[in-house]
Each structure stands twice: as structure tokens, then as C-alpha cells.
Homo-oligomer: A and B are copies of this chain.
Amino acid sequence: MTRASSASAPLAAPDPELPADALDAADPLAALVSRFAPAGDVVSYLDGNSLGRPLTATSGRIEGFLRHDWGTRLIRSWDERWMDLPTVLGDRIGAAALGAAAGQTVVGDSTTVLLYKAIRALLAARPDRHEIVIDDDQFPTDRFVVEGIARERGATVRWVHVDPTLGVTVDLLADVVGPDTAVVLVNHVSYRSGYVADMAAITELVHAAGALVLFDLCHSVGVVPMRLDEWGVDVAVGCSYKYLNGGPGAPAFLYARRDLLPTLEQPIQGWMGAADVFAMADGYTPAPGIRRFISGTPPVVGMLPLHDMLDLVEEAGIDAIRAKSLALTDYAFALVDAWLGPLGVTVATPRAAELRGSHVTVTHPSFRAVVAALWEEGVVPDFRNPDGLRIGLSPLSTTFAEVRVGIAAIRAALLAG
């Protein structure tokens, strides 16, 4: 294929064909794709790992909220349905995606604010220890929060240096976690490589050292099954706008282990986290349960789309979602190897099924320009500085055909470049 011919037919697939039809036909979750709102000019959406798509059902839900819950029940809806939303939705996330029993998960605030509360609470629970362990490839907000807290609390940040095509391993942590470690913060799935950390083994290691572990689930929740209760994870925080499709800036959630919870005190004491919200009393007494991690008034509007997505996750089941995710990433690897590898594209995501989340990261020096061009033609992966292109595969909304169209377009753009 010459450069000229690729420019005139940019979505034409090169050999080998690697057809998607049979894969979509065999997909037990294929019917659920139609639950999502039409994506207009987008022919391949490969960024559900950054912002999931809306469900059609959400329009009616929000219209009903405007007309009835807010519009006519007005303030009465706080008593009737809103006050418990943070824990109702938290429990649903826990059951559907976290392996968490009720009463340990709450929705509210941004991921960053919840990470701040979580780290402060965990650090305070280990007052004789002074180190926070984190790796140097974590998402920026995690690193920034940790550095800020370390400075204000006089703690030390112990950096784990990781291979950016992998992530944090038990062996790497074993070298740095020790008697002065208070908290270890680990991204369950690396935002860059898609590497899945071994949550069970890391928790065991951290606990053996007498420290506490916090997992950031942003890039795994809703797509990689986990068993927080069974594995004894202390605290976990995740966002709801990626694979949980909650909408841009939708509130995050926080899980805290039931038997640890009563000892955790977060620093942003607010009325909605108090034991008796409407007592208007002197002095703050935290709620006995997970509500103690709430500070201000819960962001009701921002939580509404989550209902619909949780319906869908419950209907599909997290194991079936994981199975489709693995099939999608397998297919993406095959297409990348056949079509992009020969053009100098490198894969930065682990190949082993148990080590990969639901996005495949590839690198090439031209990807900044390539992604900008692809966005114009309705092919939407995302770009991560300095040279990464992430192919996000959101199992409930992504078809195999879409993956094929998208990777063919990446090839065409590189050839046209």
C-alpha cells in the first residue's frame, strides 16, 4: 500500500484482514452496546478508559429528576431519596465491582479529595511511622497529593522506581516497605501501561510489615474484578467516570475495611459526615460508619448517571465484563502487531492476561499529531505525554469492529503522516 492510496482510503484495512465480525457475533455482551446513547460522528471510541459513554436511560432519569425529585418534591427529596445516595450507590459499586459487603463504600468528592482524606486518615492511624511509599509512575494527582501531605505532616515519601511498561510488583515493594512505613499507595491498574498490580499479595506484604495499604482503582473499577473484603485491603479510592460511565467529573468513591473504619479519622470535618447531621450541635462527632468520610453536601446531580451504569454492570456481571475485556485486548494486540508494529509502533502494555487491564498502550514519536488528526475524523483514542497512545476498551460499549476501525485508522494516519 502506497502513501497515496492510504490517504485516499484512510480506513481501509491492510492484510492480514483479522476480521471482527465473528468476534462480535460470538460476544455474549454484544446486545448491551445498544444501551448506550448514539455517538454521532464517532466511528471508533477508544477512550472509555478516560471518559465512558452515557447510557440512553440516563436522559429519562435526569428528566424525571428535574421534573419530579428536584422540581416538585424539592427539599423534601433529601429525606425521601437523596440523603442515602452516597451509601446506596457505594454499596452497589461495592457489590458489583469491588467484592465488598455493604457499609464500607461511599460516593462523593473528587478522586483527589478522597485520596487526600484517605492518606491523611491512614497516616494518622500509624502515628509512630513516618513513610509513605508510592511509585514514580503513578498518576500525577496521586503523587501530588502524597507530596503535599508528606510536607505538611513531616512524613517522608519513599519512591519505588518501576519499569514504565509494567508497574508495581511485590518484589519492588519488598525492598522498601519496612518498620517505618505507614502507608503504601498503589494504582491497581497503571494509567500508563495498563499493568495490573497483585492486590492480594501486595496487601499481604504491607500488612506483614505492620503498614496500611491504599489502592487507587481509577483504571480498574468496573473492568478488573477484585475482592477487597477477602484480600483484606484497608482503603481504596476510585473514580466513576471511566469504566463506570458516570459522566465527566462524576464523584469518586471510597472503600474502607469494616474493622478498620472506626479507627479512621479524615481531616475535613463537615456536617454531612457527623453522627447526627441535623442536630446543629456543638462539636463534631464522626458518623460511626462509612459516612464519616463525607464532608459537605453530596453531589446529587453528578451521581444520577451512575444508577444506570450500575444496572448494566449488575446485568452483565463483572466476570463476563472481564472476559470481554480480555478478548478485546487480545484482538487489539493482534491488530497492533500486524498493522502497527511494522511501522515502528511499540507496545507498552504487558501481554499476559493476568497482568493487563482494559487499555493497551502503544508508543510512537508521531502519536501527538496522529491523535489530533484521528479526533477530527471520529476515531478517538487518547494521547498521554510524551509519546503514548492509549487504546481504551470499555467492554460494555466497545465492539470488536470498532477496535478494528480504530487501529486501521491509526495505521492510515501513520502512513499518511
A interface residues, Cβ below 8 angstroms from B: 37-42, 45, 47, 50-51, 53-54, 58-59, 62-63, 66-68, 70-78, 82, 108-113, 116, 136, 139-141, 143-145, 147-149, 152, 239, 241, 247-252, 267-272, 274, 278-284, 295-302, 304-305, 375, 380, 382, 384-385
- Which residue from B54, B110, B145, B268 sits with its C-beta under 8 Å from A71? B54
Report the minimum CB–CB distance from A147 to chain B (whole Å). 6
Report the minimum CB–CB distance from A271 to chain B (whole Å). 4
CB-based contact B74/A144 at 8 Å: no
A302-B249 contact given A271-B112, A271-B141, A296-B141, CB 8 Å threshold: yes
List the 3 shortest-distance A-B pairs measured between CB atoms, nearest first: A110-B296, A40-B72, A112-B296
> For residue A75, which residues in chain B have a CB less than 8 angstroms away from its CB?
47, 50-51, 380, 382
The docked-state distance in angstroms from the alpha carbon of A255 to that of B147 is 26
- Which residue from B149, B152, B270, B380 sits with its C-beta under 8 Å from A141? B270
Report the minimum CB–CB distance from A380 to chain B (whole Å). 6
CB-based contact A53/B38 at 8 Å: no
CB-based contact B271/A241 at 8 Å: no
CB-based contact B248/A112 at 8 Å: no
Report the minimum CB–CB distance from A229 to chain B (whole Å). 26
The docked-state distance in angstroms from the alpha carbon of A63 to that of B54 is 11
> For residue A39, which residues in chain B have a CB less than 8 angstroms away from its CB?
71-72, 74
The docked-state distance in angstroms from the alpha carbon of A274 to that of B141 is 9
> For residue A42, which residues in chain B have a CB less than 8 angstroms away from its CB?
72, 74
> For residue A304, which residues in chain B have a CB less than 8 angstroms away from its CB?
301
- Which residue from B110, B248, B281 sits with its C-beta under 8 Å from A109? B110
CB-based contact A301/B37 at 8 Å: no
A249-B301 contact given A141-B270, A148-B269, A148-B284, CB 8 Å threshold: yes
The docked-state distance in angstroms from the alpha carbon of A113 to that of B45 is 34
A250-B38 contact given A109-B110, A144-B271, CB 8 Å threshold: no
**Quick one: closest B residue to A114, CB to CB?**
B296
CB-based contact B116/A268 at 8 Å: yes
> For residue A268, which residues in chain B have a CB less than 8 angstroms away from its CB?
112-113, 116, 145, 148
Q: Which of A59, A144, A305 has the most CB of B within 10 A?
A: A144
Question: 19 A–B contact pairs at CB < 8 A?
Answer: A37-B71, A38-B72, A42-B72, A50-B75, A51-B75, A53-B74, A77-B248, A112-B271, A112-B296, A113-B270, A141-B295, A145-B270, A148-B268, A148-B284, A248-B297, A249-B299, A280-B384, A280-B385, A302-B302
> For residue A375, which residues in chain B have a CB less than 8 angstroms away from its CB?
76
CB-based contact A59/B50 at 8 Å: no
CB-based contact A300/B113 at 8 Å: no
Report the minimum CB–CB distance from A179 to chain B (whole Å). 25
Given A53-B70, A249-B302, 10 other A-B contacts at CB below 8 A? Answer: A38-B72, A39-B72, A70-B247, A109-B109, A113-B113, A149-B267, A247-B300, A247-B301, A279-B385, A299-B299
> For residue A295, which residues in chain B have a CB less than 8 angstroms away from its CB?
110, 112-113, 116, 141
Report the minimum CB–CB distance from A153 to chain B (whole Å). 9
The docked-state distance in angstroms from the alpha carbon of A198 to that of B304 is 40
Report the minimum CB–CB distance from A369 to chain B (whole Å). 15
CB-based contact A66/B62 at 8 Å: yes
The docked-state distance in angstroms from the alpha carbon of A380 to that of B297 is 20
**Quick one: closest B residue to A146, CB to CB?**
B269
> For residue A241, which residues in chain B have a CB less than 8 angstroms away from its CB?
297
CB-based contact B82/A70 at 8 Å: no
CB-based contact B110/A284 at 8 Å: no
